[in-house]
Structure formats: C-alpha cells, structure tokens
Amino acid sequence: MSTQEPTPFARDLAPSTTPQCVVLVGTLDTLSTFAPQFAFAAGLTKPIGCFLLDPPSPHGAALPPSICGIPILGSLDSLATVHRSRPVSLALVCLSAAQTEHRQLVARVLRDLSINRRDVVSLRDVLNLPATNRQGGVDWSTLIGRVPHTLDEQAVSRVLHNKRVLITGAGGSIGGELALLAASFQPESLILVERSENALFEIDRKVARLFPNLKREAVLLDVVHAQHTHRLFSHHRPHAVFHAAAHKHVPLMEDHPAQAMHNNVSGTMNVAEAAIDCGAERFVLISSDKAVRPSSVMGATKRLAEILVQSLGEKASQRGCRLCAVRFGNVLGSACSVLPIWSAQLAEGGPLTVTDPRMTRYFMTINEAATLVIQASAFDSVPSAPPIFVLDMGQPVRILDLAQRFLRMQGYTPTFQDAAAHQPSPGTIEIVFTGARPGEKLDELLSYELETLAHTSHPGIRALTVESPPTHIEADLIRQALGTISFDTPRQEILDCLRRLIPEMTTPVAHESVAHTDQTPIDTLPFKAKAA
C-alpha cells in the first residue's frame, strides 16, 4: 500500500534544505484564529511575521506587537520593503470568504512581488458559518458592519497560561468559543463542564483535534446540583472560572420559569461559591443585556445572577478571588440564533421570518464576544463591589435590515409579498413578519439609568459604576426565594416572586403585527449601523 501524499499546505511548510521565509497576510480578526495553530504544528516552518490589511484605528490605538508570538511587521504596503531585505518565498493568506476585495488586493501585490501564495480557510468561517450557498460563506463581521476588537495577549496570558481553566456550559456557542480561545494560551489544564452529553462530546472532540497536547477533562455535570459542583471544584481547584452555563431562550423560559430560576440563578450561585471556596483566582459570569429592565423570565434571572455575584464581593476579596460579570447583547451565529435559522430557511427556499420590522438588537460575533469576555477576566483592579463589564456593542441593528443584508450577501433580492398569496419571482426570497414572542422587547438596553459606563484599559470594554451596589439583604431575599421554588411551583407564583425581587421588571407592550409592503430595499451595502 502506498504512503499517503502530504497535503500541498504541509509540503509548503515542511522543513527543507533551502531555508524558507514564510509570512502571514490577513486582518487582526482572521489571523487571531489562524496564527495559534503554529504553536501546535510540529515540524512546520514558523512564519517570520504578519502583514495586516486592517485600516488604521480612528482613535489612534496602537497595534499589538504580535499575534500568538508571531510579530506584526506592518501593513501590506510594508511587504515590499521586507521582501527586498529578506526575500519571502511563501505568503499564507488568511481571509474570510466574504472579503473579496481584500483577496484581490493581496493577489495583485503578491503577483507583482513574485511571492508564492496559499489561501487558507479562516478558522472563523469553519467554526461560525452554519451554512453556505452558491455564493460562498458570509463573514458575520461584514454583515453587521463591525470591526472586531482584539485581545491584549500579554494581559490574558497572565490569567490563562499554565493555569487550570474551568468553563461551564462549555458545549454552548459562547462556552465552546471560550474553550478554544483559552486552549490557545496553553493552560495547565482545561476542564469542560456541560450537562448536554452530545454538546460535551463535540467540544471535547474539537479541542482534542486542535490542541492534541493539551491536558483536558470533559465533565458531564449539571451545576444546579450544589454538592456535585463543589466536589468537582475541590478536586480540580481551577484558577480561572468562566460561567457560561445558562438557559437563554426567552420564549421557552416564559413557559418554564422554574427551570430558568434553578439553572440561571441557583447554578450561578453554586458555581460562584464553589470558585471562591476552592481558591480560584478569577470568576466571570456571562450575563446579558436582557438583564437591564428585564421584561422576560430569562432577563430577570440573569439580573438576579448579577446581584448574587456582586453580593459575594466581600467574601471573594477575603479569599483573593476576583469576581465580575460581563454583559453583552446578541451573538451572531450562535446555536438557535437568527442567522442559523435564516440559513436553514434559505436552504428550504424561504421565506425568512422576522418578528417585528421595528425590532432592534445589539450584535457581535461569537469570536469577538468570547475574546472580550476573556479580556475582561484579565483586569486586576479589585473595586469595592465585583464589577459588571459591558462590551462595546456598537449601535443597535434593526433585525429587518439584517435580514435584507443577509439575503443580498447570499445573492438574493428580498421581497415583502405575502407568501401565501403570491408566487415568488426567481432570485427573490420573501420576508414575512410573525409578531413578537412572549417576553420580547422591541429594543434592549445595556445599562440602567443610575449606572454610568466608565472607560477601562481596553477600548472594547466599559465598566458599570452604580450609586448603590447590591446589599446582603437583597442577596438573602433571592436565596430565600430560591428555597421556596420547586419544579411544581405554579408559573404565576414564580412571576410574582420575580417582580417582588426585581421591582423594575416590566411587561412587554403587546404590539400588533406590522405589515411591510414596500418592495424597495431599506438599505444597501456597505452598511452603516442605525441608532434605535
């Protein structure tokens, strides 16, 4: 039997008698997912540096000196100068499928310099794209008109490198991305905690494939069980804990408030207390913009989780544990979110569904959300109360605009005909309105009126300052309420309890379905975000 031929990519980077000079070309965003792979690819030639296509920062923010140990040598314009002093034999181009203009520019520059080129599929495309069509993949950052923030790798490395890192909800979208990012910083070990067997199997398999030398453990556990959770933490004694486990689907939690209370509130309390008791250095709660003036059970339970974490500040500081919560909006491409749903609807020929043409949301990509969560964990200051950090979500985006942009990037023209009464024209996909679901608001907020957003050392993260942080009395009331709620507790009793604990909890205004018959596209690319 003949030996299998190495892939062209491996042949290009395999050591040879002639020294090679390899460079990477891409954006900060795309290279941040590709460059870490060289740390775990034995026998391949390491690139001498990276060349970026990112535009200069409008705020004058300095670029990081390197990406995962590979120095940034400058913009693409600098490549010719470097090539003259040290001839480059191969350029690995890491750009997403949607970055057509960037690809054409790079191809022209490399051709003029007679530098060999290899296109590398962006890891972002592989991990985040639920579907592609005849026009190729969609870059989510382009879809929302957003330049993602990047990591301060030196600060994050102090938190994760050679540390034991534990992630709850590791099989979810955010938890899984946190696991992959944490793994790239070479922790001592990675503990993946998840109650879904299939989800745990998949993330464990993915981490094993990408980081085969990393010590890891997949733990099938429900953090609602306090005793089991404390036993797990006592055994592994993690240094850094990222609590991503939660029920997140707003309409479902309206029908199952007891499950939301136990998972989102009791689970948070169990994990936070276990982290403190086992001597963890840092604990991070993944929160949501739906916790601000909540109109839903999901949002209310997230707000209670924030209050509980803040109430543990004194106990945590005595044990040397830094607690924080990170609040952000919707994540593009996450499981069961709008883009995977639209992708499935498009694959079936449409129509695409939008709840209400007036509805807006804050959006960022999975990778950027996980990046900034990990960045928030690296802040070393210890305020009087555990802080709540708010990610820079940009401007809210109208869901209807997003749906139209999504269709155009896939090569279709959006229409607003009644799907039941009209036959769609070739090349068009209909958008129909289904009405807001229970618990949903037209718009979300990122902070309360009495909260102000202060700058931190990272441009993508703000810190909330509050006039009066939560008291132990509030936390005790939450604990007492949890003790009275079982899975048999009537739904209305739980809703009444939530409103007593969170007086600002609102009831979403019932809004009628609004028809849209105008066939004129609302916006065209390139996209400029609209304020609510």
Mean pLDDT across the stretch 386-390? 86
Mean pLDDT across the stretch 335-358? 81
Name the pLDDT band for 95 (thresholds 50, 70, 90).
Answer: confident
Which carries the bigger pLDDT value, residue 178 or residue 463? 178
What's the pLDDT score for residue 403?
87
Domains of the chain: 19-128 (3.40.50.720), 153-331+362-395+444-501 (3.40.50.720)
**pLDDT tens-place string over residues 303-325:** 999 999 988 888 898 899 999 99
What's the pLDDT score for residue 174?
92
Q: Is the pLDDT of residue 26 over 80?
A: yes
What's the pLDDT score for residue 253?
93
Output the average pLDDT for the chain: 79
Q: Is the pLDDT of residue 123 over 70?
A: no
CA distances from 131 to 127, 214, 410, 493 (A): 11, 30, 11, 42
Annotated catalytic, 248? Answer: no
Q: Is the pLDDT of residue 1 over 90?
A: no
What's the pLDDT score for residue 10?
42
Q: 71-85, 352-366, 447-461, 474-488: which has the minimum mean pLDDT?
A: 447-461
Percent of the chain with pLDDT over 70: 75
What's the pLDDT score for residue 66?
85
Q: Is the pLDDT of residue 526 over 80?
A: no
CA-based nearest residue to 380, from 217, 56, 152 = 152
The helix-helix angle for 297-311 and 267-277 (nearest 10°) equals: 20
Name the pLDDT band for 445 (thresholds 50, 70, 90).
Answer: low
Q: 15-19, 57-61, 480-484: which has the minimum mean pLDDT?
A: 15-19
- Residues with Cβ within 8 Å of 475's Cβ and at least 6 positions away in sequence, in order, are 307, 308, 311, 312
Q: 69-83, 126-140, 217-231: which has the minimum mean pLDDT?
A: 126-140
Q: Is the pLDDT of residue 140 over 70?
A: no
What's the pLDDT score for residue 45?
74
CA distances from 235 to 275, 277, 278 (A): 12, 12, 9
Q: Is the pLDDT of residue 139 over 70?
A: no
CA distances from 211 to 36, 47, 175, 183, 290 (A): 10, 19, 17, 7, 35
What's the chain's length in residues? 532
Percent of the chain with pLDDT over 90: 33
Q: Are 289 and 331 in contact (CB under 8 A)?
A: no
**Structure tokens that stand for 424 in this block:** 């769609």
Q: Is the pLDDT of residue 470 over 70?
A: no
What's the pLDDT score for residue 127?
44
Mean pLDDT across the stretch 389-401? 82
**pLDDT tens-place string over residues 180-232:** 999 999 999 999 999 999 999 999 999 999 899 999 999 999 999 999 999 99
Q: 53-62, 351-360, 391-400: which has the minimum mean pLDDT?
A: 53-62
Q: Is the pLDDT of residue 116 over 60?
A: yes
What's the pLDDT score for residue 35?
79
**DSSP annotation string for 114-152:** T-EEEEEE-HHHHHH-S--BTTB---HHHHTT-------
Give strand ranges (E) for 122-271.
Answer: 164-168, 189-194, 216-220, 240-243
Q: Is the pLDDT of residue 7 over 50?
A: no
Catalytic residue among 163, 248, 290, 441: 290
Q: Is the pLDDT of residue 103 over 80?
A: no
Choose from 1-15, 141-155, 372-386, 448-462 the range with maximum mean pLDDT.
372-386
Which carries the bigger pLDDT value, residue 344 or residue 161? 161
| HSE toward the beta carbon, residue 480, CA cutoff 13 A | 9
Q: Are 322 and 282 in contact (CB under 8 A)?
A: yes
